[in-house]
Amino acid sequence: MKIRNRLNPSNPCFSFEFFPPKTDEGTANLLKTLEELAPLEPGFVSVTYGAGGSTRDRTVELVTRIKRETGIEAMAHITCVGHTPGELRDVLQRLKDAKVENVLVLRGDPPQGQTAFEPVPGGFRHATELVRFIRDEDFNFCLGGACYPEGHVETASRDDDLRHLKEKVDAGLDFVITQLFFDNAFYFDFVERARRIGINVPIVPGIMPITNYEQVQRFTRMCGATVPMRLGLQLERVKDQPEALVQLGVAHATVQCMELLSRGVPGIHFYTLNKSPATRMIVSALRART
């Protein structure tokens, strides 16, 4: 099933993002988690692509197994990092052979130790180039891409970033998923500005339930997402009480999702960080409401 056909404001879908575990045991646990999530009827799940090494093969393997063993639609992420076009073609062919229909096309972050992104010789500098490559190779995938309501961390201005997004969408994206945000105002403003310059594909909000204080500090530093002052103060107060922190994270994300749904989003993508209980609580609450 092509994900673009599942993104519908009158019947929004929930999707869950996972990263590939490093061990076979971890993979078995993740597949079990997915079985537990299946009753929540996710529209799809997605599996991230690592910075290098063997976890990359695990993305293709895991997506294939999820599709085969759970029947849930699974999307593979792919990045330009460290790959020549020939290598990317091979990964894409493996996905196609495994009957994977949906791919999230990314540039990727600079590998650890590098401050700026540098493509391999002959490689792609921006995700747009990889989108064009995939369309030219005629793989017939449904393609998603990333977008940034608060602007990508490397960009000089949000307007520049939005123009680059327009080029990326015009190169052949079917939908985009946002970076995480904790304040819906960023998302609504972003969608309005995107529509104004002719970006017409579905823009799926990405939500990360906060479950760990240090982790949220690290993520927001990395991706530049703003923690609203009130939420920041509340987090500070419960940072040494793990249960209360999770409750706060779940409550905040649930309220965010309720507002997003009431304003007609086509779906909500959850960054689960492979910890499904928080996501399960939120989606259960949202399902109970509809």
Is there binding between residue 164 and ligand FAD (CB under 6 A)?
A: yes
Binding string, 31-50, against ligand FAD, x = CB under 6 A?
Answer: -----------------xx-
Of the pair 144, 249, the CB lying nearest ligand FAD is at 144
- Among 263, 270, 273, 98, CA closest to 191: 263
Distance of closest approach, residue 10 Cβ to ligand FAD, in angstroms: 23
Q: Interface residues for ligand FAD in 93-122 (CB under 6 A)?
A: 104, 106-109
Of the pair 81, 283, the CB lying nearest ligand FAD is at 81
Q: Interface residues for ligand FAD in 175-194 (CB under 6 A)?
A: 177, 179
Is there binding between residue 55 and ligand FAD (CB under 6 A)?
A: no
Q: Which position among 168, 199, 250, 267 is part of the footprint of ligand FAD (CB under 6 A)?
A: 168
In angstroms, the CA 100 to CA 94 distance is: 9
Of the pair 161, 174, the CB lying nearest ligand FAD is at 161
Stretches 95-103, 160-168, 186-194, 277-285: which one binds ligand FAD (CB under 6 A)? 160-168
Of the pair 49, 283, the CB lying nearest ligand FAD is at 49
Is there binding between residue 77 and ligand FAD (CB under 6 A)?
A: yes
Catalytic residues: 17
Of the pair 78, 261, the CB lying nearest ligand FAD is at 78
**Which residues here bind ligand FAD, judged by CB under 6 A?**
48-49, 51, 77, 79, 104, 106-109, 126-128, 146, 152, 154-155, 160-161, 164, 168, 177, 179, 206
